[in-house]
């Protein structure tokens, strides 16, 4: 029996950027017969038709900041359920801390969006940046690749 794959990212869409890369990896794995679990806020219907199993996670008020902890919790829960089958995990390090392959597509330590914001947006950006910086550091330390 082959090991399942679990991919964790906010979006698996063909629209562009990292969403497109996430989509391409998931589609390739599913189309070549692998069992693929997507833990995500949003996945293209094409992926379901290819056989990917989508574990949808809500993104309250369409907010990435509010959705991140929900995505992390769902990913940890799914990883626990798949642990006995030695799932291969590929995750966005800003989304969750899991052993396996982790990446950070936006280096929060380098760019500080707080400087470009004002008022409430500035306060929220500061909180989100601090949260994500910590998550990325932990995720990269836990990653095997």
Cα 56–Cα 62–Cα 66 angle in degrees, nearest 5 = 80
What pLDDT, on the 0 to 100 scale, is given for residue 50?
96
Look up the pTM and report it.
0.82
Show the 3-state SS of 106-143. Answer: CCCCCCCHHHHCCHHHHHHHHHHHHHHHHHHHHHHHHC
Q: Where are the domains of the chain?
A: 5-142
Quick check: 88 and 5 in contact, CB under 8 A?
Answer: yes
Quick check: 47 and 27 in contact, CB under 8 A?
Answer: yes
* Low-confidence stretches of the chain (pLDDT beneath 70): 1, 105-117, 143, 145
What pLDDT, on the 0 to 100 scale, is given for residue 114?
60
What pLDDT, on the 0 to 100 scale, is given for residue 77?
97
Domain 5-142 carries which CATH code?
A: 3.40.50.2000
- Give pLDDT tens digits for 91-129: 987 788 888 888 776 665 666 666 666 777 777 777 777
Show the 3-state SS of the chain. Answer: CCCCEEEECCEECCCCHHHHHHHHHHHHHHHCCCCEEEEECEECHHHHHCCCEEEECCCHHHCHHHHHHHHHHHHHHHHHHHHHHCCEEEEECCCCCCCCEEECCCCCCCCCHHHHCCHHHHHHHHHHHHHHHHHHHHHHHHCCC
What pLDDT, on the 0 to 100 scale, is given for residue 108?
56
What pLDDT, on the 0 to 100 scale, is given for residue 3?
95
């Amino acid at each position: 029996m082959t090991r399942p794959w679990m991919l964790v990212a906010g979006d698996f869409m063909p629209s562009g950027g990292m969403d497109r890369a996430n989509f391409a990896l998931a589609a390739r794995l599913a189309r070549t017969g692998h069992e693929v679990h997507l833990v995500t806020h949003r996945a293209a219907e094409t992926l379901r038709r290819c056989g990917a199993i989508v574990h949808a996670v809500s993104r309250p008020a369409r907010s990435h900041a509010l959705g991140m902890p929900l995505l992390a919790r769902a990913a940890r829960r799914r990883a626990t359920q798949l642990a006995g089958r030695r799932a291969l995990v590929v995750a966005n390090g800003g989304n969750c801390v899991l052993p396996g392959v982790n990446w950070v597509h936006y280096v929060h330590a380098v760019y500080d969006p707080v400087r470009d914001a004002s008022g409430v947006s500035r306060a929220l950006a500061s909180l989100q940046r601090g949260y994500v910086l910590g998550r990325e550091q932990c995720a990269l330390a836990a990653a095997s690749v």
